[in-house]
Amino acid sequence: MVSLADSGATVAPKKPTRRAGALNRFLMIVLMTIVAIWLIVPFSMAVLWSLVDPETGWNYPDLLPPSLTHLRWVEVWTTTALPQAIANSYMLAPTVAVVTLILASPTAYCFARYDFAGKGLAQLATLLPLVVPGFVLAIFFSSLIFSLGIYSRFLSILMAHCVLFLPYAIRIMTVSFGQVRQDLIDAARDLGASPLAVFRAAYMPALLPGILASLIIVFIQSIEEFAIAFIVGAPNFTTIPSILYSYLGYNFIRPNAAVVSLILVVPNVLLMLGLERLLKSANPAQTGVKG
């Protein structure tokens, strides 16, 4: 796969020639086949497992499940805390993503556009949340939060998640702010543009991909995070990963795990397709803002 894509890279010219166009098509077909195998096969296995009839099971040497039913889906939906967990997770994650971005931006701006003594050390320090193991962080974070007298589960997880995912947002936004071109800012200022206009003309095109990348990354991390959501959130605030852990851990039941996995993944993938479109439209190369 490396060599295939590599040769693709070497022939991607500014305006595709016919030869390159044909090659791109060929590469695309090859790549899509590989990707189909690496996405479609695993997911269709999961779909099959989620439809296995508990009466007959699916055991070796049956090549396919002897009978299919949607009972698992009904059972998982009605006997677990899944519906509430989905609501919780999808309320929490977007909030975390936005708040984290707001907290991260000033620091990222500072890292990208100012030089000061101890900058390297400061950048290093932003990585601290990444090197504290999840459960250690969760336990002492909950102690900390309780001792501060904060009992709102939502607020507590929100705070913890923001701190935990700030490094991603800061790192990504630092890269973005670094790509803002000073000559564009100067030019806009020289033309007498208002600060807002300067921001829209010079900053926004370079920042938008970073903003979206940061929102996406933090959103995914928050949806997936287990240790804090469980320790700080229990018992009333259940998120999807808590349920998933239960189904993939002690209670591992392959068909039910398949149901929960699919419920967890499908909205994510749809979301990604939408965001990918956004990301693409925000691409400076496409919106005509060129250097």
Q: List the interface residues with other proteins, window 124-163 (CB under 8 A).
A: 124-137, 139-144, 146-148, 159-160, 162-163
Which residues have a Cβ under 8 Å from the Cβ of 282 and sit 6 or more positions away? 205, 208, 209, 212
Query: Candidates 90-98, 183-191, 195-203, 272-280 — which segment interacts with other proteins by CB under 8 A?
Result: 272-280
Q: One-letter amino acid identity for 213?
A: A
Quick check: 55 binds other proteins (CB under 8 A)?
yes
Q: Per rule CB under 8 A, is residue 9 in the interface with other proteins?
A: yes
Answer yes or no whether residue 30 interacts with other proteins by CB under 8 A.
no
Spatial contact of 205 and 284, defined as CB atoms under 8 Å apart: yes
The smaller minimum CB distance to other proteins, of residues 16 and 83, is found at 16
- At residue 8, φ and ψ (nearest 5 deg) are -60, -40
Strand partners, 68: 52
Among 21, 83, 91, 186, binds other proteins (CB under 8 A): 21
- Is residue 64 a contact point for other proteins (CB under 8 A)? no
Stretch that binds other proteins, among 78-86, 90-98, 189-197 (CB under 8 A): 78-86
Q: Does 241 participate in binding other proteins (rule CB under 8 A)?
A: yes
- CA 82, distance to chain mean position in Å, is 21
Residue 66 within binding range of other proteins, rule CB under 8 A? no
In whole angstroms, give the CA distance from residue 94 to residue 218: 8
- With beta carbons less than 8 A apart as the criterion, state whether 149 and 80 touch: no
Cα 112 to chain centroid, rounded: 23
Q: Is 109 in the site for other proteins (CB under 8 A)?
A: yes
Q: Rule CB under 8 A: which of 181-210 touch other proteins?
A: 206, 209-210
Candidates 152, 194, 283, 287; binder of other proteins (CB under 8 A) is 283
Binding range to other proteins, per CB under 8 A, among 90-98, 182-190, 194-202, 244-252: 244-252
Q: Output the smallest distance, CB 15 to other proteins, in A.
A: 9
**Near other proteins by CB under 8 A: residue from 157, 216, 218, 259:** 216
Rule CB under 8 A: say whether 222 interacts with other proteins: no
- Identify the residue whose tokens are 């095109």: 205
Query: Could you give the CA distance from residue 88 to residue 154 in angstroms, rounded to a whole number?
Result: 9
Query: Site for other proteins (CB under 8 A): which residue of 108, 188, 198, 202?
Result: 108
Residues 221/167, Cβ–Cβ less than 8 Å: no
- Note whether 211 binds other proteins by CB under 8 A: no
- Answer yes or no: are the C-beta atoms of 218 and 129 closer than 8 Å: no
In one-letter notation, the amino acid at residue 38 is W
CA dist., res. 168 & res. 30, Å (int): 33
- The answer to the question of residue 19 lying near other proteins (CB under 8 A) is no
Residue closer to other proteins, measured from CB, 1 or 196: 1
d(CA 213, CA 222): 14
